[in-house]
Copies of this chain bind each other. A is one copy, B any other.
Amino acid sequence: MAELREECGVFGIYDPKGKCADLTYYALVALQHRGQDGSGIAVNNDGDITHYKDLGLVNEVFDAERLAELKGTMAVGHVRYSTRNASAKFNIRENVQPLVLRYVKGNLAIAHNGSLVGTDSLRKELERSGAIFQTTTDTELIAYAIAKKRLEAGSVQGAVKEAMKVLKGAYCLLVMSPQKLIAARDPWGLRPLCMGRKGDAIVFASESCAFDSIDAEYIREIDPGEIVIVEKGTITSIRDHCTDSSSLCIFEHIYFARPDSNIAGQNVYEARKKSGMLLAQQCPVEADVVIGVPDSGIGAAAGYAEQSGIKYENGFIKNRYIGRTFIKPDQESREIAVKMKLNPLKSLLDGKRVIMVDDSIVRGTTCGQIIKMLRDVGVKEVHVKISSPLFLYPCYFGTDIPSTDELIATNHSVDEICKMIGADSLDFLSMENLHKICENSACGFCDGCFTGKYPVDVSE
């Protein structure tokens, strides 16, 4: 139960049979875990782009009537989480994607997942030439970067290629022009993006679980730096920005991605299980039972149990209906909020020595409350195993983390944290083991949040 949240999921489809809006809707529901603040779909009906979007979950924004109005043979969709410290100021209707716009060559719809760095200078330069910004998203910057180069580049994919020369940081783009559907991924491959097929339809998604949900077949990743163009069913690729190295956010496997997604040949659940197995080797402890904190700690807990031979139990029951439940802003209600989400099973845990596996510790407050709940049902010992290293540095690529001084690990030793959360012992996955959890992946990784070393210059 990490206290982190990520920034957005994207889906795109070219379908000559034209069931685009429905399939996009179903796929966005599968990607909902990547963003719950806003949702949108733009469709392309013979060159004419229409759209609908609003704040809210996919099934709050769209109903049968809305979907029926969105006719076309191409579509891009988006689920949004508003990072930037979740300020209400950024969670506004104007920011919901896809961004639909008119530029020198007609209409364009752009859906974006990621976070750029060095945008201040890019924005300033655009503003000096007369640009106006109606949102606070990077997507609008990307749109300008493409629009500026369109005439000169001679094609929309050419303009995307030119734009990518000035864009730094994480971006997975789906760009829909009157005739084309284009997928592009930053040269560092910081966020995932893959391609699939369903009959004659070509699909793109942030995660492969979206393909499973609509019964589409996974084909491959979009390579870091690659631009894939779908036009009238033909797929072409521009690889000018591709290099040999790549730096996928390692937190996708630890926490963000759905366990049933595969990224660069590595299943997410398997990676989590592996992290648990490595933890069991790295820091064994005597105990009666292993439990995972739902949902993201489950896989690692199963791995820990398998490796250690200690019994695995479904120790927590999670309330599936918690949704947007209003919680009063008093202390008692905030404590109730955690109890409403999770309930430990006394019959399984009472009197036991428990190994509790979770994905990360950010501020430490939730973890402390959960441990208290375990003590309340009679747990004798709580040994906390964290399936990632100490979270020490900011992320510049789309993970919404608190400011560094709120990170418990930047200010306290492991022993101190252990005492603060009330555990009997506490261990974090070592950096060495971290690199083993995805060692069969066909990509490299960014571990900047643990090391402070980033693949892109973040000095601005």
Q: Which residues of A contact B (CB under 8 A)?
A: 22, 25-26, 29-30, 32-33, 36, 50, 57-59, 62-64, 67, 89, 93-94, 99-104, 108, 124, 127-134, 136, 140, 143-144, 147-151, 209, 212-215, 258-260, 262, 267, 269-270, 295, 298-299, 302, 306, 311-314, 317, 319-326, 328, 332-333, 335-336, 339-340, 343-348
Contacts and interface: CB of A to CB of B under 8 A. Distances in A.
Contacts of A100: 94, 134
Given A30-B340, A63-B326, A215-B335, 7 more contacts: A101-B133, A102-B136, A127-B147, A132-B143, A214-B339, A260-B345, A323-B323
Contacts of A64: 326, 328
B144 A128 contact: no
Given A258-B317, A314-B298, A347-B270, A339 B129 contact: no
Contact of A345 (B89, B134, B267, B344): B267
Nearest to A212: B343
B59 A26 contact: no
A103 B326 CA distance: 34
A108 B133 CA distance: 10
B131 A151 contact: no
Contact of A22 (B103, B134, B333): B333
A361 B151 CA distance: 48
A29 B127 contact: no
Contacts of A67: 326
Given A30-B319, A104-B127, A104-B128, A339 B143 contact: no
Nearest to A54: B93
Most buried by B among A58, A147, A151, A314: A314
A326 B59 contact: yes
Given A313-B302, A347-B269, A322 B29 contact: yes
Contacts of A314: 259, 269, 298-299, 302
Given A26-B336, A59-B326, A134-B134, A259 B345 contact: yes
A62 B348 CA distance: 34
A457 to B, nearest CB: 25
Contacts of A320: 33, 295, 320
A345 B29 contact: no
A143 B99 CA distance: 19
Contacts of A336: 26, 213-215
Nearest to A106: B127
Most buried by B among A100, A103, A144, A148: A103
A84 B153 CA distance: 34
Contacts of A140: 132
A333 to B, nearest CB: 7
A320 to B, nearest CB: 6
A398 B33 CA distance: 34
Most buried by B among A149, A213, A298, A346: A213
A59 B323 contact: yes
B144 A326 contact: no
Given A345-B259, A346-B267, A325 B29 contact: yes
A213 B343 contact: yes
A262 B57 CA distance: 34
B129 A103 contact: no
Nearest to A306: B311
A257 to B, nearest CB: 11
16 contacts: A29-B319, A32-B321, A67-B326, A99-B134, A101-B132, A102-B132, A103-B131, A130-B147, A130-B148, A214-B336, A214-B339, A215-B339, A260-B345, A269-B314, A269-B317, A312-B312
